[in-house]
Structure 1
Amino acid sequence: MKMLHLATILLTLSGVLTQSSDWGVKYPDKPICAVRGFSVSIPCSYYYPQQNYQVVQMLWCSMNSNKDKCHVPPYVYSSSSNTKSDFEYAGDDKSNCTLLIHNLQFSYSGEYRFRFMTNVSGFSWTGLPGVILQVADLKVSLIRLSGNGTLKQGDSLNLTCDVNCTHSSSQFVWSKNNEQLNTSGPVLHFPALTVRDSGNYTCTWKTNEVSGSETISLQVEGKSSATDQSIWIFVFVTTGMIFIVLVILVAVIYNRRCVHTEQLKEEDSDIYTTVQYNTFTMN
């Protein structure tokens, strides 16, 4: 009984039982970087003597608002509350304490701690220290290497994907018009643009816990050389001359047909007059 009482005092006052390895919470070793506006999964696991205790309440707190080591409210998540928010518990009452955070905002950056309470009064646990979350913007920047003004064929540039927080296992995936490109890394290089390079380019940044994406549009204009202009001028002039010649030919043909028709009419008229005269003489 004395040993049990001593353990109860240690758990209640400090929340950390350094004399035992049977209780604990495990978070990621390094800070988690996530993209504003997207979601993040914070991996978490906990353990305790399950043969002697049963977890009755799971809690997550943000140290931005909770200054009392997560022992009292406010909590960003409480299993005893049905309130819906951006903070969603994806764990259980056995060993998994994973937390999902949706619609990330800059204000969500900070330290988070998990606390669980058992069916034995005074036996609860808070994982110290907590896990650090960094919320950042994902930006896709266009860096001109040659050319100025509107993008033209032959110009060179880089598209750079950047997240202003670090993560050792991050991966960059590029796609054009929703079709994945066979390239990786934060920089997409265009040594000499063509009109075919026009389109919407999306950089997707991924880690084990989170992903985010940003899109930028490229519109490349074609270069019209002096030779091309000469060719078009020649085409227009030639087309115009052909049109004029056709009009003249149609007019000539039409005029000849009209003259021929008039001649036929005159000949028919002479024949009719001659026939009439001969008929009158015979009578």
Structure 2
Amino acid sequence: MILPHGANNNDSVLVLLLLAAWADARVSYSPVTCAVRGSTVTLPCSFTPIMPVVRVRWCVSHPICQGSTPSVYDSRTIRNNWRYLYLGDMERNCTLQIHNVQTQDNTTFRFRMEARDNAGHFTGTTGVAVTVVDGDPMSVQSSAPGSVSEGAAVTLNCASRCSFHQVGVRWHQDGHALPESGPTLRLTAGQSANYTCGLVDRASTTSPPFRLNVQPPRADGNFVVPLVVSLGLLMALLLVIAVVVVVVKRKRRPASRHEGKRGEKENQRSEQVPGGERGGPDGQEIGQDADEINYATVQFQSRATNSRRPAETSEDVVYSSVARPST
């Protein structure tokens, strides 16, 4: 760099500092943007200032955007066009949103920041170019390309090469209008059909038909898995029931044997005890446990003719059993 003749060292240092500051100041834009007429488009933007910023502007059709250049947005005025909304700030963010895009928006937009000192002024001369289209056909994109099974969930998207945010979309199935109005159509595959989409009140934007082929469920497909699971659960249940039955039977066998032996013993005892048959006025059976057996002695005196028998002769004693019914 060649400095003017007669310039002192202080001036040289100041010029170098200004050039360095300008090199550090920069503005970054999004790529070229395409938008459908009537839609809303956002222009992402960021900037790096070299000193505190006091004013920001967005202008069109001017490389520097300074002085009296018309601006679509100016932070110093409150009379900005409502279609241009500044989403940024005075520090880093310079994003601009354009509502209801029109044909005149088919141009290049540039951002400019200004400081209290002229050394802090900077314009991103590159800018961002906006292309406005109207009438381009849309296209239908499916989340499940090819054939789908009956009952499957399918998502269809109405797409375009340009942004069409906040523009109504109309869907048709085999030529019949559907109630959905957004860019996304969610449905459950029922039968094969043709689907189209397009922007509201713009017949020229109707997409080519998209054929959704629906196949009935196959025996070797998704239907087999639930069937195998059901059969497995059924077999497991039958096995559990069989195990329970076997265990119960094994527990009952020792008990029945014990009861049989006990019954035999009781029968033997009843046979040994006199009066074990039915008795009494009501025909009740007198058992070993319910009846009480008392033993009594009966002494028979000898006849008078034999009364003179010696005293040491023992008397005849007869034992008999008397069964007394329990009360």
Which interval holds the TM-score relative to the shorter structure?
A: 0.3 to 0.5
- From the CA coordinates, give the structure whose radius of gyration is larger: 2
Higher relative contact order (CA 8 A, sep 6+): 1
TM-score (norm. length: structure 1): 0.47
TM-score (norm. length: structure 2): 0.41
